[in-house]
Amino acid sequence: MRLLVTGGAGYVGSVVTALLLGEGHEVTVLDDLSTGHADAVPEGARLVVADLHEAADVLDPSVDAVLHFAAKSLVGESVTAPEKYWRTNVSGTLALLEAALRHGVRRLVFSSSAAAYGDPGSDAPIGETAPAVPANPYGATKLAVDHMLESWSGAHGLGAVSLRYFNVAGAHLGAGERHDTETHLVPNLLRVAAGGGGSAKVFGTDYPTRDGTAVRDYLHVADLAEAHLRALEHVRPGSFRVHNLGTGGGHSVREVIEAVRRVTGRPVPVEDAPRRAGDPAVLVAANDRARRELGWEPVRTLDETVADAWEFALSRRAPA
């Protein structure tokens, strides 16, 4: 197929692009490189440096489907500068959908987020029918796009699948996390393990969990990427479906710290800190629908996830 991948110079988008090329698809990447990296775009894909609002200049009737990753994704920034998130995540997606409608592109796979659920309280694991009450503008914009896709499906025959990620980590096919502002636990722990100085912070030690720290569902980026290929196979014009992507199990912050120490063989000093506002105690995905409808199965363990991320982190270090 001929495919457009928005945000294909980013972490997940570049891994998915590599898998698509490996399957023999022709891929054009649309990315403004505001957070992505041109050298992350796999060889064989065509890179167009442009904003989502310029999608009409890239799409044409020969495109079979769109995989949509381009978005602003920092929760804290979404609170202090929500205009960036509504402009890119919602207005930009609207421009993309209008261009798709104009050119007769009827299939789309969307990179959504568990942030759409907000704080589920004691509900775990979380299913797709759980109430979606976002706790921040980032999550609100992801939910808004889901509503947009559902209405587009009913009115214009768009086939769309929204994949709600929980916590993604690891590296695959030479691609890993390279965020200028790194908020994710695993790469921050690995930075400390690699001698980046200081200690890792544990935000909250008094949660009602098995060791007092927050529990999250950590999914290897390769398993996540493979779900996108399965979604692309199953999307049908006129149909909209939401699928959670996670392992179906969770690890606490302290368990992830121990995994990093175990895999790297390095000390990882930590410092306890107060909870961050809005952080739920437990976020774990119910992935039954993705297993059943997409035929998708996550297979990689937490230690494998950490090991692949560690290998990538070491590959990025400057020679001594």
46 with 74, same domain: the answer is yes
138 classed as catalytic: yes
- Interstrand relation of 200-203 and 107-113 (parallel, antiparallel or unpaired): unpaired
The residue-averaged pLDDT of 30-51 equals: 95
The pLDDT of residue 319 is above 80: no
Structural domains counted in the chain = 2
Q: What is the pLDDT of residues 81-121, one digit of tens each?
A: 999 999 999 999 999 999 999 999 999 999 999 999 998 87
Reduce the DSSP state of residue 161 to 3 states and report it.
strand
Q: What is the pLDDT of residues 186-209, one digit of tens each?
A: 999 999 999 877 888 999 999 999
Left, alpha or beta for 59 (phi > 0: left; psi -120 to 50: alpha)?
A: beta
CB 145 within 8 A of CB 109: no
- Residue 202 Cα distances to 139, 253, 277, angstroms: 23, 7, 14
103 with 194, same domain: the answer is no
pLDDT of residue 320: 36
CA distance 114 to 135: 11
Domain harbouring 228, CATH code: 3.40.50.720
112 with 226, same domain: the answer is yes
61 with 206, same domain: the answer is no
Concatenate the DSSP letters of all residues of 179-204 into one string. -SS---HHHHHHHHHTT-SS-EEEE-
CA distance 139 to 7: 18
Domain harbouring 298, CATH code: 3.90.25.10
291 with 159, same domain: the answer is no
Catalytic pick among 11, 85, 138, 218: 138
Q: What is the pLDDT of residues 218-266, one digit of tens each?
A: 999 999 999 999 999 999 999 999 999 999 999 999 999 999 999 999 9
Angle at 113 (CA atoms; ends 270, 96), nearest 5 degrees? 135
192 with 175, same domain: the answer is yes
**For tokens 């695959």, what's the residue?**
172
Q: What is the pLDDT of residues 112-123, one digit of tens each?
A: 999 999 988 767
CA distance 265 to 285: 30
222 with 274, same domain: the answer is no
Q: pLDDT category, 76, cuts 50, 70, 90? A: confident
36 with 105, same domain: the answer is yes
Q: What is the pLDDT of residues 276-309, one digit of tens each?
A: 877 889 999 999 999 999 999 999 999 999 999 9
Which range marks the domain in which residue 258 is found?
A: 171-216+248-316
Phi, psi (5° rounding) for residue 181?
A: -110, 105
pLDDT of residue 4: 98
Q: What is the pLDDT of residues 129-155, one digit of tens each?
A: 999 999 999 999 999 999 999 999 999
